[in-house]
Amino acid sequence: MGLEPLFQAWSYFRRRKFRQCSDLCSQLLERPPGEQAAWSLKTRALTEVVYVDEIDMDQEGIAEMMLDENAIAQVARPGTSLKLPGTSQGGGPSPAVRPVTQSGRPITGFVRPSTQSGRPSTMEQAIKTPRTALTARPITSASGTYVRLGTALFEYIFHHENDIKTALDLAALATEHAQFKDWWWKVQIGKCYYRLGLYREAEKQFKSALKQQDMVDTILYLAKVYLRLDQPVTALNLFKQGLDRFPGEVTLICGIARIYEEMNNISSAAEYYKDVLKQDNTHVEAIACIGSNHFYSDQPEIALRFYRRLLQMGVYNCQLFNNLGLCCFYAQQYDMTLSSFERALFLAENEEETADVWYNLGHVAVGIGDLNLAYQCFRLTLVNNNDYAEAYNNLAVLEMRKGHIEQIGDLQRSYTAAQKSEEAFPGHVDTQQLIKQLKQHFAML
């Protein structure tokens, strides 16, 4: 005897077999009368297929970057803006030894949607909203509010249909029906406003929802609004107030750490990531970021311990083996270096990842003095990723070592470039020495 069809569909949903669940609900709805429960379950199943955790998902594309009119101050004070994080304020490693993304901020130990350098390259890509990213966060409390057909329908329109305006209309009618006393609908209106770029309206909705019901999710949404308005200090204060009400909440501590990292205050970020590990010692992002910080602070042996911990936890990807290979090399554990890079090449899923591995192998080759091997590795980097500026730079240095210099003696352009370099990073000793040498040359002319 088979299961009752609606119960069978619910069973499929519970086991995350959303396609079968949706198909079975469709069959149920063809029979008269169409049950409301089947409607609700079908919309939920279709939503889950493309569900994105809005708190974590925030891809800032070219459209947002180019057409951003939300900056509060044109020239922000140091330490109050994410646009100009400046040099390391927190006594962490200097920008000379820590690589930066194309947007000019330090590469973190953990790739996050809004902080990675892989920005959409065309306006068309930027306009499309990402709808397929899954998150490492546990299911948020927002996912628990599917008790009525209205909430399931809203999630379906918002995530599956990606029709924000209709979703906003539905949420506005629902909150009016609830006589403006239902905090959940206010959060949904805030989410719609955020997606539409109406950040001040979103802020009002989230604040109103927080007054009615104190929720971690709502604090995280409100912080996203402040970060998009380039007000990191306000977001930090919000998180710290949230921690007073929800002591030890990992997502709030992690939010503080991320902001400090974006503001280039690496040592403060590391302290907060350590607080994250006190609450949850399997938090992948915190382990990776602390490991990365130790590596760039000339402590590869300690970084190695953190990366090995990730390996023990079951993280098994190209990036981890890449980092393990570098740590082993700088910690002088040469027996493990090449096997780690070999594994990284095997696990690389795209050409950009392969390019990263070859670039690091080139560094290892320079370190052991095999310049021919280094030359080949950097060339292989460019084969996989033609835009790899660092590889071009290193190839130029190798060509210079070989004496293949096409143009020499343009002192004025060299001086201009050196001055720009000094502006970007005032504490760089090599740049200061170069300027000094150039001034001596000019004095002799």
pLDDT digits (tens, 9 = 90+) for 173-199: 999 998 988 999 999 999 999 999 899
**Distance between CA 414 and CA 134 in Å, rounded?**
47
**Distance between CA 439 and CA 433 in Å, rounded?**
10
Residue type, 120: P
Q: How far is the CA of 39 from the CAs of 22, 33, 42, 389, in angstroms?
A: 10, 11, 5, 53
Tell me how many degrees the CA angle 249-255-257 measures, rounded to the nearest 5.
105
Selected residue with higher pLDDT from 75 and 29: 29
Instruction: Provide the whole-model pTM.
Output: 0.78
Report the range of poorest mean pLDDT among 50-54, 163-167, 189-193, 257-261.
Answer: 50-54
**Distance between CA 205 and CA 195 in Å, rounded?**
13
Cβ contacts of 423 within 8 Å, gap of 6 or more:
none
From the list 72, 71, 70, 25, the residue with the least C-alpha distance to 46 is 25
Report the range of poorest mean pLDDT among 85-99, 118-132, 158-172, 206-220.
Answer: 118-132
Residue type, 402: K
State the Rg of the chain over Cα.
26
The answer to whether the beta carbons of residues 337 and 329 sit under 8 Å apart is: yes
Residues forming beta bridges with residue 106, ordered by sequence position: 100
Question: 3-class secondary structure for 66-119?
Answer: HCCCCCCCCCCCCCCCCCCCCCCCCCCCCCCCCCECCCCCECCCCCCCCCCCCC
Selected residue with higher pLDDT from 111 and 263: 263
Selected residue with higher pLDDT from 40 and 200: 200
408 sits in which H/E element: none
Residue 200 has pLDDT above 90, yes or no: yes
Q: How far is the CA of 14 from the CAs of 1, 143, 379, in angstroms?
A: 21, 14, 50
Residue type, 384: N
